[in-house]
Amino acid sequence: MVDSAWSVERFGSELTSALVTTLAGEVDATSLSRAVSTSAAAADVICCEWPIACTAGCPHCCVLNVAILLPEGMIIADWLRERHPPSALDAVRGRLSDHCRRVRWMEDDERITKHVACPLLNADGNCTIYPVRPLVCRAVASLDRTSCREAFNPVITDEERLVSADLLRQTVFDQAFMALGRAICHRGLDNRSIELGGGVLAFLEHPELQDRLLTGERLPVELWQ
């Protein structure tokens, strides 16, 4: 439960300090993964007692643009690489590539209307990277599954469609995202964000990007084009 002394600014500041400490030594894939998981865990502690309507196989909001930090893309790519044989991984890369081409200039409204679902969902609508899902995905939580389904119904209408959402959770995870970005920047690493599909695809297709990220090199601008 959030006590009266808690503030979102204090949470963000303290988490940034903790993440800077986590990344104080030699930065490698393990320490970056630890920093990302620490960010998610710290936010979850604040929000864990608040009930949400989101459940497995409830992918209504998984049509929205998701921004990730580069270490998140690296971690998700490693997760997929470790759990898929080459042929299955090729299929994942193909879905990611097709998705990136399709949504390149799309706003969220168009994604909803055309029902362009995340390519990392399986046929049952379940997230295939759930344990390492991005902070931005963790931030979205509906309090009413029906309103969520109706809001993301791909039907054009002039009616305003609202979702009852946990705004505290969104605020806390936004702070966790920013704290991670600040800590990465403090360590001299590239702290730019990138679209989920494009970021994961980049690390899958070019494993050498991981070494470039870890050594503090700015990744190629072509990844954002």
Classify residue 212: in a domain, yes or no. Answer: yes
Q: Which range marks the domain in which residue 152 is found?
A: 8-217
Classify residue 225: in a domain, yes or no. Answer: no
Classify residue 51: in a domain, yes or no. Answer: yes
Classify residue 36: in a domain, yes or no. Answer: yes
Is residue 12 within 8 A of residue 179, CB to CB? The reply is yes
Classify residue 131: in a domain, yes or no. Answer: yes
Per-residue model confidence (pLDDT) at position 152: 78
Instruction: Indicate the number of domains in the chain.
Output: 1
Per-residue model confidence (pLDDT) at position 150: 79
Identity of the amino acid at 223: L
Classify residue 183: in a domain, yes or no. Answer: yes
Classify residue 96: in a domain, yes or no. Answer: yes
Rounded Cα–Cα distance for residues 143 and 165 (Å): 5
How many other C-beta atoms are found inside a 10 Å radius of the C-beta of residue 71? 28
Query: Taking Cα atoms as reference points, which of 189, 196, 188 lies closest to residue 132?
Result: 196
Classify residue 29: in a domain, yes or no. Answer: yes
Per-residue model confidence (pLDDT) at position 146: 80
Which residues in 34-55 are b (16+ Cβ under 10 Å) and which e?
A: ebbebbbebbeebbeeeeebee
Question: Average pLDDT per run of 10 along the chain, which is 225 residues long?
Answer: 72 97 94 97 87 79 93 98 95 96 88 90 93 94 80 69 80 96 97 97 97 96 92
